[in-house]
């Protein structure tokens, strides 16, 4: 079905990412892809499949098993005018390149007074639900929301994946681009032509009057599922897709909360110090606080390592049912606390 951006086809999230990278590399020789198994193998999740055949091994570069090494190399390449796309095979492994990201990429443009740019995009699959256990299933994005100088993007649809990745490649600042593993096979309408989704702008995916549900990434679809179920009982939820965690679109969230008077935030990272706490804090610290009829609720991952057992894994993750329970705790006339 066509959309406002032009002629669209239904393709997967994976294909939308590949299309964005391919378009960027065809149009700009300074763009290249680097990471573990991104070449002949096509990436751990098949995102770059076929790209090495078109662009060759000098622009689709298989790296050694050293996230610290190739992330640092990518930052250096960005400083001298290249536009690297770095793929870290699992987001858990970003822990190996914290110094490169936090102390180097995030700081250099500021430290050089804006005279140096770091047009660097780090793509990485995150999140649980695949049975990959504690060291390959984490959602660590809140760490980087905390770091000035880094932009953090988390698209939920194929359309936004393509548009946000192209926007990230235009940006002179380092961008962390989170892709949930369970989204790669999800299909959606995506225009064939180039387009950009602005970094830092949330999307109102569903309008409603009774409660605001804020989410991003995979759990945005849980929020939509919950909203449809709640509508059967006469509860109309407004669902917001942040799309970008940093910079965060507070204005759109505040406008929705001022309309509905209730707020539920849904996130997959662990609840303690999760990015959802920032959404809530900005509301309760500002004028929108006076629009609230109830204390906000958060639906998040449990504060435990991700279990391997599929039933335990499901138990510690957000779900549409948990979102429904949180919403009901706010719209019910009885005052209760959701935890």
The residues assigned a catalytic role are: 67, 136
Q: Where are the beta strands (DSSP E) in the chain?
A: 8-12, 31-35, 60-62, 83-87, 121-126, 151-153, 175-180, 187-191, 203-206, 211-215, 237-241, 244-246, 263-270, 297-301
User: Which of the 8 DSSP states describes residue 3?
Assistant: B
Omega of the bond prior to 61 within 30 degrees of 0, cis?
no
What would the two tokens of residue 211 be? 């409660």
N-terminal to C-terminal alpha carbon distance within the chain:
41
**What is the β-pairing status of strands 203-206 and 237-241?**
antiparallel
Question: Do the Cβ atoms of 203 and 159 come closer than 8 Å?
Answer: no
**Phi-psi group of 194: left, alpha or beta (phi > 0 → left; psi -120 to 50 → alpha; rest → beta):** beta
Alpha carbon distances (Å) from 10 to 13, 14, 157, 173? 10, 12, 11, 31
């Amino acid at each position: 079905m066509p959309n406002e951006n032009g002629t669209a086809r239904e393709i997967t999230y994976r294909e939308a990412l590949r299309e964005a990278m391919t378009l960027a590399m065809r149009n700009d020789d300074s763009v290249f892809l680097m990471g573990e198994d991104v070449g002949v193998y096509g990436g751990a999740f098949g995102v770059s499949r076929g790209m090495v055949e078109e662009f060759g091994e000098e622009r689709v570069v298989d790296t050694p098993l050293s996230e610290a090494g190739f992330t640092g190399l990518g930052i250096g390449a960005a400083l001298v005018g290249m536009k690297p796309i770095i793929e870290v095979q699992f987001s858990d492994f970003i822990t190996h390149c914290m110094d490169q990201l936090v102390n180097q990429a995030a700081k250099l443009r500021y430290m050089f007074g804006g005279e140096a740019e770091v047009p660097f995009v780090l793509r990485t699959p995150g999140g649980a639900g695949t049975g990959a256990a504690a060291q390959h299933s984490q959602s660590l994005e809140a760490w980087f929301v905390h770091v000035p100088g880094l932009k953090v993007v988390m698209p939920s649809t194929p359309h936004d994946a393509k548009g946000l990745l192209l926007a990230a490649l235009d940006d002179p600042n380092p961008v962390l681009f989170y892709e949930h593993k369970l989204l790669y096979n999800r299909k959606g309408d995506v225009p064939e032509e180039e387009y950009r989704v602005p970094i830092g702008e949330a999307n109102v995916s569903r309008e409603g009057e009774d409660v605001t549900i804020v989410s991003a990434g995979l759990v945005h679809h849980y929020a939509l599922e919950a909203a449809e179920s709640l509508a059967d009982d006469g509860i109309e939820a407004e669902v917001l897709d942040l799309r970008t965690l940093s910079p965060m679109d507070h204005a759109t969230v505040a406008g929705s909360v001022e309309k509905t008077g209730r707020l539920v935030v849904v996130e997959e990272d662990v609840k303690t110090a999760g990015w959802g706490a920032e959404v809530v804090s900005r509301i309760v610290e500002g004028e929108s606080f006076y629009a609230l009829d109830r204390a906000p609720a958060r639906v998040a991952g449990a504060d435990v390592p991700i279990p391997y057992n599929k039933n335990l894994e499901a138990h510690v993750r957000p779900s549409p049912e948990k979102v429904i329970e949180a919403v009901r705790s706010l719209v019910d006339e009885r005052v209760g606390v959701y935890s």
